Structure 1
Amino acid sequence: MAPRERKKATPATAPAPATAPVPSARHGALSEVRIHGLGAIDDVTLDLNPGLTVVTGETGAGKTMVVTGLTLLFGGRADPGRVRAQGRAGVEGRLVLPPDSPVWARAAEAGAEADEDGSLILARTVSAEGRSRAYLGGRSVPVGVVAEIAEDLLAVHGQTDQLRLTRPAEQRRALDRYAGPAHLELVEAHRAAHARWRQLAEDLERRRTQTRELAQTAEVLRRGLEEIAAVAPQPDEDTALDAQATRLGDADALRGAADEARLALVGDTTGDLGGGEDLPQDATTALAAAQRALAASGDPALVALAERLGDVGAVVADVGVELAGYVADLDADPARLAEVLDRRAAITTLVRTYADHGAGVGGVLAWAEDATDRLSQLDVSDEALEALTASRDAARAELRELSERVSAGRTAAAEGFAADVGRELAGLAMKTARVSFAVTTDLESPGPEGADEVALLLAAHPGAPARPVHKGASGGELSRVMLAIEVVFAGADPVPVMVFDEVDAGVGGQAAGEIGRRLARLAGEHQVVVVTHLAQVAAFADTHLVVDKAPDSGAGVTATDIRAVAGEDRVRELARMLSGLSDSDTGQAHARELLAVAGQPQ
């Protein structure tokens, strides 16, 4: 069967050349996403450009499936109810990342490799039974690995996806980023100081509560170190003793072998056998006779061989001298043999007691080194506990001083941050909303990030009490608060890809245009994908994708098609969004006016 042809949403404008600067891809960007078998989507490929991409279409056409697909691709929860009838859904994406992106290091740890063009390929599949698999750089990986990478790549902001904003820890991190690099360095110093203090405090508590057990352990270690020190083994001494014991134990046999070989090579040079006996001819005598005979022949070839025999004779003589030295040095003293055997037995006992199997003396020495280190941590004497208490108190004092400085930095930054977010909200149909930070400090119970609990509060209208933002805002308001924060952090947030799902819900008129303007500003530093139903927002897009319902001629069911629009096609789509009639002259005139306004310098 022929492969199914994939529908492709061709970009309305050509992508920037590879050599051209791409502002929104500074930290990375998605260049292509393929979605198949997900919800109403049969099989489409989206070519995503840097900048602002908007996704529009009729209600129920499947716009949300684009967001669902991106969320699934980056480790989101797999919902088998979204899988089409064929039984398997999948999303594939191509990431373009700078060489210094931290994502590359994590991907390499997972065994992923870059594609031929230097991009990183992600993929995710979900079956109708709920089974899910993730792939990174051609390797199957746990979904958790992709989700971990997504923390540095993607932020999804929608009606029900405001998780980052609702977490107090994330609100504290946002405030720290706003306070600036010097403050972030202070927070890092606090984190290190907290780790030191906790380690000292836990060590002191352990020594105090486990005095008896630690003392017993320390005594065992001391006894072992004393036994080892009494023997004082040297590296590789066991091997040397084995060789020495063998030589001492077999001295007579070794002497006989060496003497026999020496006599065969050079004869009796000691006179021990007497001069009157007939001795067999030795090798040096035979070689000398052969050399004289050849040298006397006068033939050049034989003379050359005589010279070579002279060299051989010299080697044989040297070996004879060395054998004589070996015999002279050979010690057959039984007392020395007993001494060596006793030393070897003592070392063998140490090896059996303190070394792993086969480790020898090296294992004993390693145990002694480790025991010395452990013993320094098990000292429960009054002097040791007093010294450790002093170290803990000094670390606590340092931590408190850092906590106070971190808290002061957050308190100072909170007012400015809230004011900046409030100014952004004023242009997002939330003019009367008031944003503030509640910084609660408990210097007696600091955590790694400081002694502060930070809460982002929102008073949605005059007279309303300031409440935690996820409790005091509706879904649309929460999305706009998130948008306002992202705009404030446009140049600082390292997340390269941001997705907003209908952040303009419940907004219209001038406020809608302001949302589009702010999203366009955000897209100067990030790749931004927005699902919207407002023409005022869509007019600011660099790439405009339209989701259409299209009959599936094969199965007779509704399917989704995604196409990129530009020129007059885009004007007609904006007119449809404005008036519900794509061919309305009034609607088209208004659409051209929106495009003209959006095209003006920001």
Structure 2
Amino acid sequence: MLREIRIRELGVIDDAVLELSDGLNVVTGETGAGKTMVVSGLGLLLGERADAGRVRAGADQALVEGVIEVTADHPAAIRAAEAGADVTDGLIMARSVSATGRSRAYIGGRSAPVGLLSEIGQDLVAVHGQADQWRLQRPEQHRLVLDGYAGEPVAVAVKEYAELYDALQSARAELDSLTVAHRERVQRLDSLTVALEEIERVDPQPGEESALATEAERLSHADSLRAGAQDAQVALMGNEDQVDDAASTVVDLVSHARAALASLTEHDPAVAALDGRLRELAVLTADLGGDLASYIADVDVEPGRLDEVNARRAAVTTLMRKYGDSVDEVLAWGQSAAAEAADLAGTDDRIEALQAQVGDLEPRLAASAHTLSQARQEAATTLGERVSDELTHLAMGSAHVEVVVRQHEAEDGLRLPDGRTVRLAGHGVDEVEILLAANKGATPRTVAKAASGGELSRVMLALEVVTASGDLPTFVFDEVDAGVGGAAALDVGARLKALSEHAQVIVVTHLAQVAAYADRHLVVHKEDDGQITSSGVTAVKGAAREAELARMLGGVSDSKAALRHARELLKSTGS
């Protein structure tokens, strides 16, 4: 909760420190002393839009600092820590506004975006001023107020509904996507099927394009290759028709060379080595001659073989032109295409499964929505009655609050068990609206339009008292007692005191009957040196507090009658 607020150079406030306590804190002071600057300063601290006009005349900037006592596991502390703030000893927030309108924010000693102040502030403080009743002015907040009041029955129903809603939305989205793309899927599947059949018909083998190119080249020059090989073989081995006795072949020449060395090998090892090499050459020549003979036999072309190879090359090239730069890439594309085709072929099964899933989820969601609506309706009845009862104690005895839970029919919505088809959302099918009839016989209207500023504050106070759950540690009310006096003002004070049993409450008030309930009474006082008027804040107790209450009651602080009335007032409130 807020422990301290320091305000410097804001409006008429020169330098003021508000030390706050648990329970009910009231802020009072003469008209024009700057009471509303306390709420304005707190608004700046919570991320409200900066206004250079709020900077005190003659000052360079206004500064507001707040010391907030918060546990390390509180959502506000966790969010601040995520932003790099030091929350070891609580949370320190600050906001400065220059005279030129420039604004800066600080959290836990670190510079931060102003939006982060607002984000963190929503978990710490609810400010209710006559012009800032955000929870009642925003329609979606009416539902949140009701759900918060309803507690576990609605929370459980909301959770069940949300899970079914998410599942249904997911199934519908996938089904719509698959259905809309049905024609494209069919066309794609047909295209893939034709391509896969073409690849299967050709049945290319890895690396086949290189082997075919080599064979085509060989077949195209078969005659030249055969003639060349035959000439080479004759040169090595001779032929059967040769009758010349002269050594004219390589075999003959090698044999002649060996014969020349045969009688000399035993006289010199070097000659023996040379003879060995000639012997190897003779063997190599014989092997080479045999290989040439085999090649000549193999190079014979089967009739039509070249045409077959060229046709095969054309078929493989066609595949490569369509599906890849090589046979390996064509085969890889074929594997991918087969997997995609299998997936597309199974889409119809998926559509049927999704249709069945949607058909199962819709009635379950409808039943869940009906259960949630009933739980909300039951809570709405009691909430309206209790808030109306509270208003009788807040000088609005003729007012009546009604919490309406309704649904809007929509052709493409959710069919409920009662046969209606209604609009649905993630939070249910209900629209919740808090209506107010400020006077007997008046037609209930949405509370944000039916109530004046002061009435709106009191409706908000009644709601906070009825729904108080401790979710927010601090509530701030500005002029919640506008238009109230006498015994009704005591009731307003008592209700604020009741709310302070669950949370810290800060109230700016001009009524002594409200101030008398305070656990801590802060007075904004102004000083005038003849040229400049400034304000400060002082905590009062004892005689000083009696004097302030007397001033509020009678206009002067030293009236004996007013002082006596002040003491009686304090006694009646138990302060």
Same fold (TM over 0.5): yes
Which one of the candidate residues 476, 479, 487 is aligned to 2:454?
Answer: 476
Describe the shift of the 1:67–1:380 C-alpha distance in structure 2 as closer, same or farther (beyond 3 A).
Answer: farther
User: Which amino acid in structure 1 is aligned with residue 568 of structure 2?
Assistant: E
Counterpart position of 2:366: 400
Counterpart position of 1:503: 480
Q: Secondary structure at the match of 1:394?
A: helix
Which one of the candidate residues 35, 59, 79 is aligned to 1:106?
Answer: 79
Which one of the candidate residues 43, 46, 62 is aligned to 2:34?
Answer: 62
Counterpart position of 1:207: 178
Give the Å deviation of 1:217.
8.0
Which one of the candidate residues 500, 523, 530 is aligned to 1:546?
Answer: 523
Give the Å deviation of 1:395.
2.0
Distance in 1 separating the partners of 2:154 and 2:454: 32
Counterpart position of 2:94: 123
Describe the shift of the 1:386–1:120 C-alpha distance in structure 2 as closer, same or farther (beyond 3 A).
Answer: same
Overall identity of the aligned pairs, in %: 49
Which one of the candidate residues 431, 442, 445 is aligned to 1:453?
Answer: 431
User: Residues 341-420 of structure 1 correspond to what in structure 2 (within 5 A)?
Assistant: 381-420=347-386
Which one of the candidate residues 563, 568, 578 is aligned to 2:543?
Answer: 568
Describe the shift of the 1:176–1:377 C-alpha distance in structure 2 as closer, same or farther (beyond 3 A).
Answer: farther
Contact 2:185 2:344 in 1 (8 A): yes
Describe the shift of the 1:58–1:214 C-alpha distance in structure 2 as closer, same or farther (beyond 3 A).
Answer: farther
Describe the shift of the 1:552–1:199 C-alpha distance in structure 2 as closer, same or farther (beyond 3 A).
Answer: farther
**TM-score, with structure 2 as normaliser:** 0.70
Contact 1:407 1:441 in 2 (8 A): no
**TM-score, with structure 1 as normaliser:** 0.67
Give the Å deviation of 1:108.
2.1
Counterpart position of 2:113: 142
Distance in 1 separating the partners of 2:112 and 2:186: 47
Q: Secondary structure at the match of 2:106?
A: strand
Distance in 1 separating the partners of 2:529 and 2:343: 73
User: Which amino acid in structure 2 is aligned with residue 425 of structure 1?
Assistant: L
Distance in 1 separating the partners of 2:485 and 2:154: 39
Q: Which sits farther off after the overlay, 207-216 or 102-111? A: 207-216
Contact 2:470 2:502 in 1 (8 A): no
Give the Å deviation of 1:216.
7.5
Describe the shift of the 1:381–1:138 C-alpha distance in structure 2 as closer, same or farther (beyond 3 A).
Answer: same
Matched, 1:465 2:443: yes
Describe the shift of the 1:377–1:150 C-alpha distance in structure 2 as closer, same or farther (beyond 3 A).
Answer: farther
Describe the shift of the 1:199–1:587 C-alpha distance in structure 2 as closer, same or farther (beyond 3 A).
Answer: same
Contact 2:388 2:400 in 1 (8 A): yes
Counterpart position of 2:396: 430
User: Residues 126-275 of structure 1 correspond to what in structure 2 (within 5 A)?
Assistant: 126-213=97-184
Q: Secondary structure at the match of 1:417?
A: helix
Distance in 2 separating the partners of 1:446 and 1:97: 38
Counterpart position of 2:496: 519
User: Which amino acid in structure 2 is aligned with residue 136 of structure 1?
Assistant: I
Distance in 1 separating the partners of 2:448 and 2:53: 28
Can you give the 5+ residue segments of structure 2 that lack an aligned partner in the other structure? 204-324, 409-415, 417-421
Describe the shift of the 1:579–1:141 C-alpha distance in structure 2 as closer, same or farther (beyond 3 A).
Answer: same
Contact 1:215 1:380 in 2 (8 A): no
Matched, 1:81 2:45: no
Counterpart position of 1:581: 556
Give the Å deviation of 1:505.
0.4
Give the Å deviation of 1:528.
0.5
Of structures 1 and 2, the larger Rg is shown by 2
Q: Secondary structure at the match of 1:550?
A: strand
Counterpart position of 1:30: 2
Can you give the 5+ residue segments of structure 1 that lack an aligned partner in the other structure? 1-28, 231-344, 354-367
Give the Å deviation of 1:65.
0.4
Give the Å deviation of 1:75.
1.1
Give the Å deviation of 1:398.
1.9
Describe the shift of the 1:387–1:126 C-alpha distance in structure 2 as closer, same or farther (beyond 3 A).
Answer: same
Describe the shift of the 1:396–1:221 C-alpha distance in structure 2 as closer, same or farther (beyond 3 A).
Answer: farther
Counterpart position of 1:336: none
Contact 1:550 1:559 in 2 (8 A): yes
Matched, 1:43 2:18: no
